Structure 1
Amino acid sequence: MNKTYCPSLTEYKRRISREVKIGDLPMGGLNPIRVQSMTTVDTMDTLGSVEQTLRMVEAGCEYVRITAPSVKEAQNLLEIKKELRKRGCTVPLIADIHFTPNAAELAARIVEKVRVNPGNYADKKKFDVIEYTDSSYAAEVERIRERFRPLVQICKQYGTAMRIGTNHGSLSDRILSRYGDTPLGMVESALEFLRLCEEENYYDVVLSMKASNTQVMVQAYRLLVQKLDTEGLQPYPLHLGVTEAGEAEDGRIKSAVGIGTLLEDGLGDTVRVSLTEAPEAEAPVAKALIDRYTNRAQEARPIRPLTSPPSPLSSGEGKLALETDSKKLDASSSSPEERGLGSEVPIDPFQYHRRHTHEVANFGGQNVPRVVADLSRLPRLEYADLRAAGHLYSSFLDKFQMSDLGADYVYTGERPVPFMLPNGLKEVVAHRAWMDAGQRSDHFPLLTADTYLSNFPKLHPTLNFLLLELSTLDADLLAQLRQDRTVVLVLETTNAHAMPELRRAFFELINNGVTCPVVVRRTYTLESPSQTQLDAATDVGGLLIDGLGDGISLCTDLLPEQGQEAWLRDIDQLNQLSFGILQAARTRMSKTEYISCPSCGRTLFDLQETTAMIRKRTDHLKGVKIGIMGCIVNGPGEMADADYGYVGVGKGKIALYRGQEVIKKSVPEEQAVDQLIDLMREDGRWMEKELLEEPVAG
């Protein structure tokens, strides 16, 4: 199987795409990765749309998208454009089209780019299970061709660019019948439209594969690139985005996990971060994600090639040929094997499979990934301080209460905790401290590779942690690890090209038959919490997306003189971030997930206010997924795998869904949240919030 999907797995190289002109600001080719967002004002509100567009441009948007749900909104795009140009704003405008080809054909004569969704542009989406014969399927494709061809011809005539934007949740019944609700279905949906564009010799096309599920989203983009390459199609630019990412920290983490994973491999020509917030808030997040790669190639250290595996391997894994030296990983190579790609990749980049590991304590095997909170730099530790690791101490009850975001382990370094830890929390200490404390059975040592390989080191009988980097993995260490069933590896790197180096280390383990669980550890320099949030979600989330990693440990380089409270605040933020990354990568569900759209001119209620209200009532429902959609376009399809849905269907009217089935069609907005909760109660998914008997100490 050809697994080629990026220029290099080890060097930072941007995929060189075809340049597409969008007004006076081209995308793709050697141009910078562009930032864009979408207005939320009613498109018929000309001045409101203009003012919001100007704020978005000021915030960093290079393209602005505006919804055109019908012909009248498409016509008003001209008035918006005239007013913007009168004010000296030349930002390219993009018309967002769903269901209405006639609106698209009008808009294409006005704006610089149109976006169409192949799942609902001229296709059907009724959530019907239809059995298509080859002839009936071909007839449907031909019908779509005839409906789509006029738009292509207009775009070609007017020099208007087009985005063919597939959404995971709005695949047509026809596509679902043949490919299922899969990344392949998403890709084929777009390729049907793309092939018609090429038949018309029209190439000003941008492609996107959006989903709210980050695993599906990443797999679809990778598969799209692979399909374009193998079918000999043009290397069209990619618009990256996680649809319906949500709001606040969760929305940013989820966006970074999906978008950042692809940026790491050099994919992407424009980014839109979809937050349930004002659109001005989206551009700075997109820019922060993009800016990390401005000097990546110059700042990164070369990543060493893989060593040859021993023969025979003690595991069924890793029998594939290995990558060549990283110096040969050049995008101009004619053979995927020469680029360290293709059949040499020991994972499937297009389908999620968790790396096979043996179980050590509660790591690896079928266990969820664990969170290790780093408390090692705290000058002192008291009961109340464990709140930063999610373990809440009540002095009134003299006991701990663990939250759903309670760390599984704490690392205390050379200063073990001076009191008994709460049930469910375990402690990792430096090997020297473990030895000095009498090799306690309830402490677990962290060793360096040198200590581990020394003659007869003292080890815990069931669980030991081994700190290492890619450079540490030599033949002697790999040979010992193949035999040891007590070791959990703690993998770290200081390389600016961090995620690919960590991934290379996992490949080394797989190819050498090492099945030890691995905790990914990352330390970040003093930056704003928001930047650390994005960087960590990219570095660790990108590995988790590929099934690599059995735990996460994050820390920053705060200095002791910055004070105990600063440290505790930092630990608390990193602990919450760790759980957020695991949830965003769909590897451990520890809290309610909100799949909420970012709002636009189609929205039928105040999305930010409603999302906040629903979150306030339901944020204690661990693992429940709730879709909050402003209109039927972003309704049952776009919320894809949500357990419950809250969808605007008219002014003041809400439809409530169980999965993709509508349960109540027209609920007054003021009653809708209560009835949503009643629906959960009927299903046995509802529980009341627990109240602490006393405020937590500290």
Structure 2
Amino acid sequence: MDFFNYHRRPTIDVHIGNITMGGSHPIVLQTMTNTNTLDTDASVAQCERIIAAGAQLIRLTAQGVREAENLRNIKQQLRDKGYSTPLSADIHFNPRAAEAAAKIVEKVRINPGNFVDKQKTFAQLEYTDEEYLQELQKIRVKVVDFLNVCKEYGTAVRIGVNHGSLSDRIMSRYGDTPQGMVESCMEYLRIALDEGFTDIVISMKASNTLLMTKAVRLLVDRMDKENIHFPLHLGVTEAGNGEDGRIKSAVGIGALLSDGLGDTVRVSLSEDPEAEIPVARKLVDYVLQRQGHPKIEGKIFEGFDPFSTDRRNTSAVRNIGGDFVPVVISDRSQTEDMTIHPHFIPDFMYVGASIPANFPKGMKAIVDYKGWHNEIDRFPLFTVQNMNEIPNSEANVNFLRISYPQLSDEVMNMLKTYPNVVAILTTNHVNGVGEQRAFFHALLNADCRVPVILQRHYAENDPEDIQVKAGADFGTVLLDGFGNGVMLSNVGTISPVDIDSYAFGILQAARVRTSKTEFISCPSCGRTLFDLQTTVALIKQHFSHLKHLKIGVMGCIVNGPGEMADADYGYVGAEHGKISLYKKKQLVEKNIPQEHAVERLIRLIKDNGDWVDPDDN
């Protein structure tokens, strides 16, 4: 993988109905229905809306043989209406349903964590080597039977690993880790290869973007070493809805697309499935603009580990770098609006040539050096052209705006010499991610520990556009372990207050700074046991002030508690009208009437000492 120069990873071709998936073919956009698969008319109608939105592959849940068999009726109606879009069946816990579906649809997704293995107990189980091999043999028998059906009917398979549904057996050996996710996949992949079956697409998903990206990179490394090159399905599970869901998806999926990985994308939002497709389209198209870009010269730091979760070691300058959380600099240089969001207060505000009369009291200002005066909470911004003035500055933080092409030996020496400098790294390159990565590797190679703020410039009027683009741009570099802050600059009609909230959202999605409650909510499907969109809104209404918590909202037992593995508390559909509550992975209360579930969740959080009143937060 070339970290600095974009090109797609080559893969084998996998045929799925009338489309071909792989590195030499366009990236396929897909989503999943949330209708009852037994309701043929509703499912067909939703598929039509999804196709109209631009989807090229549609997945439907098939939790049982009846649902799998009804895929035939859904497919036939769609074909009768003139639609040729391939269908995929989503299978959990039921090899018989998988075999039935494989005779009907063009692709079947199976989850190694529960295709044969029992539902997770989260028990601390121990397996002897003999017992472990016996379990693998049980899996082999079921998987081979399934693959034989797929061979007969020309059906493709997705081996879809989810972080939250690793089996107890895998957990016993590898723990809750990217390595466990990779091994869970490789077990099934080895069986398929032994059987000569290669119509395979692979996914490694998690709601934790850092874990998800590391797991995919680790899997690709393992496959490359074994000369295996299957296409990849990318997605962040339980990303949520609205701004949060878009940013989190852009951070995780965008980071892998930036690496040249990914042959099909599903953006999982707790919204109508047709709303997912435009977001995926924007994300894919934005990253693909980098194709054929001018080459970026750089040298990889030999000690860089793309699978590590460590962050680059930096010196601390005031509250930037070192062990401090990344900061947010709000760019107000192109606006007279100095409004501050009450919940997303930037650490600094850059105002350009001079401080405006309406500048908020108590805020820290960054001012261009020529207009700067040495006062409390006022800091100068230098350029490479006037950096020779830095030794004359009396400020305890001096900001230096710089791009990678400007990183000469003289500039590097200055960055290493003066301990009170913070770099603001900007880029105008079409592959700004690659150029900023090259800058950081140059610092690592020179053992320069200067803190660095990431800056990107946009001209967007649509909030979704900048959420997607900035999420992919900043998120990729942050997930590499680089960056001590972000400066999101936009010339457009979006308010600077909203821009600030997006900056904080990107930091949270990249797992480097928490500023609000994180809601881990599934995108809904035919298994969902309540109105997900209404329920997520209700949960947010009551719990959004608990900024220190992650709360999972899952439509069924398949997606909870396993898929909300990162959540502190969980609200999970148990049956129609009934909710089960979890603390971490532990079931606390079962089958609560839905009308009482929010009240009981509040009580559970209070009983565990995690509740704060809204006015106290």
Bucket of the pairwise TM-score, normalised by the shorter protein: over 0.9
Aligned pair partner of 1:304 in 297, 322, 347: 297
Aligned pair partner of 1:92 in 68, 80, 86: 86
How many angstroms does 1:302 deviate by?
A: 2.2
How many angstroms does 1:420 deviate by?
A: 7.2
Aligned pair partner of 2:525 in 597, 600, 610: 600
- Hey, what does 1:495 align to over in structure 2? 429
User: Are 1:136 and 2:131 an aligned pair?
Assistant: yes
SS at match of 2:184: helix
- Hey, what does 2:172 align to over in structure 1? 177
User: Are 1:211 and 2:243 an aligned pair?
Assistant: no
Contact 1:69–1:103, Cα closer than 8 Å, also in 2: yes
Letter in 2 for 1:408: D
User: Are 1:364 and 2:299 an aligned pair?
Assistant: no
TM, length-normalised to structure 1: 0.86
Unmatched segments (≥5 aa) in structure 1: 1-5, 307-322, 324-343, 391-402, 559-565, 693-698
How many angstroms does 1:134 deviate by?
A: 1.5
- Hey, what does 2:497 align to over in structure 1? 572
1:278-306 per-position Cα deviation (integer Å, ceiling 9, x unaligned):
000001111111111344223x3321234
User: Are 1:193 and 2:192 an aligned pair?
Assistant: no
The percentage of aligned residue pairs carrying the same residue is 48
**Separation in structure 1 between the aligned mates of residue 53 and residue 556 of structure 2, nearest angstrom:** 26
Contact 2:380–2:395, Cα closer than 8 Å, also in 1: no
User: Are 1:614 and 2:539 an aligned pair?
Assistant: yes
Contact 1:274–1:598, Cα closer than 8 Å, also in 2: yes
- Hey, what does 2:286 align to over in structure 1? 292
SS at match of 1:358: coil
- Hey, what does 1:332 align to over in structure 2? none
Contact 2:338–2:360, Cα closer than 8 Å, also in 1: no
Unmatched segments (≥5 aa) in structure 2: none
Letter in 2 for 1:470: Y
TM, length-normalised to structure 2: 0.98
- Hey, what does 1:445 align to over in structure 2? 380
User: Are 1:684 and 2:609 an aligned pair?
Assistant: yes
1:72-471 to structure 2, matched below 5 A, reads 72-124=66-118, 125-232=120-227, 234-298=228-292, 300-306=293-299, 323=300, 344-378=301-335, 380=336, 385-387=337-339, 389-390=340-341, 403-418=342-357, 421-423=360-362, 425-434=363-372, 437=373, 439-453=374-388, 457-471=391-405
1:202-259 per-position Cα deviation (integer Å, ceiling 9, x unaligned):
0000000000000011001101100001123x20000000001000010000000000
**Separation in structure 2 between the aligned mates of residue 367 and residue 614 of structure 1, nearest angstrom:** 31
SS at match of 1:303: coil
How many angstroms does 1:137 deviate by?
A: 1.1
**Separation in structure 1 between the aligned mates of residue 425 and residue 125 of structure 2, nearest angstrom:** 49
Give the paired residue count.
616
**Separation in structure 2 between the aligned mates of residue 257 and residue 345 of structure 1, nearest angstrom:** 25
Contact 1:445–1:460, Cα closer than 8 Å, also in 2: no
How many angstroms does 1:461 deviate by?
A: 3.9
**Separation in structure 2 between the aligned mates of residue 170 and residue 49 of structure 1, nearest angstrom:** 27
The root-mean-square deviation of aligned C-alpha atoms, in Å, is 1.5
Cα 1:345–1:417 change in 2 (3 A) is farther
**Separation in structure 2 between the aligned mates of residue 406 and residue 82 of structure 1, nearest angstrom:** 55
How many angstroms does 1:139 deviate by?
A: 1.3
How many angstroms does 1:126 deviate by?
A: 1.4
User: Are 1:484 and 2:441 an aligned pair?
Assistant: no
1:179-202 per-position Cα deviation (integer Å, ceiling 9, x unaligned):
110111001101100110011100
Contact 1:468–1:489, Cα closer than 8 Å, also in 2: yes
Cα 1:79–1:345 change in 2 (3 A) is farther
Contact 1:246–1:275, Cα closer than 8 Å, also in 2: yes
Letter in 1 for 2:151: K
**Separation in structure 2 between the aligned mates of residue 420 and residue 267 of structure 1, nearest angstrom:** 44
**Separation in structure 1 between the aligned mates of residue 298 and residue 273 of structure 2, nearest angstrom:** 43
SS at match of 1:293: helix
- Hey, what does 2:457 align to over in structure 1? 523
**Separation in structure 1 between the aligned mates of residue 83 and residue 576 of structure 2, nearest angstrom:** 33
How many angstroms does 1:10 deviate by?
A: 1.9
How many angstroms does 1:350 deviate by?
A: 0.9
Letter in 1 for 2:440: F
Letter in 2 for 1:209: M
Contact 2:338–2:358, Cα closer than 8 Å, also in 1: no
**Separation in structure 2 between the aligned mates of residue 419 and residue 650 of structure 1, nearest angstrom:** 55
**Separation in structure 2 between the aligned mates of residue 94 and residue 13 of structure 1, nearest angstrom:** 28
SS at match of 1:131: coil
1:509-547 per-position Cα deviation (integer Å, ceiling 9, x unaligned):
111111111110111123522111111011111111111
SS at match of 1:488: strand
SS at match of 1:628: strand
- Hey, what does 1:394 align to over in structure 2? none
Contact 2:366–2:378, Cα closer than 8 Å, also in 1: yes
**Separation in structure 2 between the aligned mates of residue 419 and residue 164 of structure 1, nearest angstrom:** 57
**Separation in structure 1 between the aligned mates of residue 394 and residue 166 of structure 2, nearest angstrom:** 53
How many angstroms does 1:691 deviate by?
A: 9.6
How many angstroms does 1:421 deviate by?
A: 4.2
1:342-397 per-position Cα deviation (integer Å, ceiling 9, x unaligned):
xx55422112111101110000111110000011122x4xxxx543x32xxxxxxx
**Separation in structure 2 between the aligned mates of residue 461 and residue 295 of structure 1, nearest angstrom:** 41
Letter in 1 for 2:518: E
SS at match of 1:467: strand
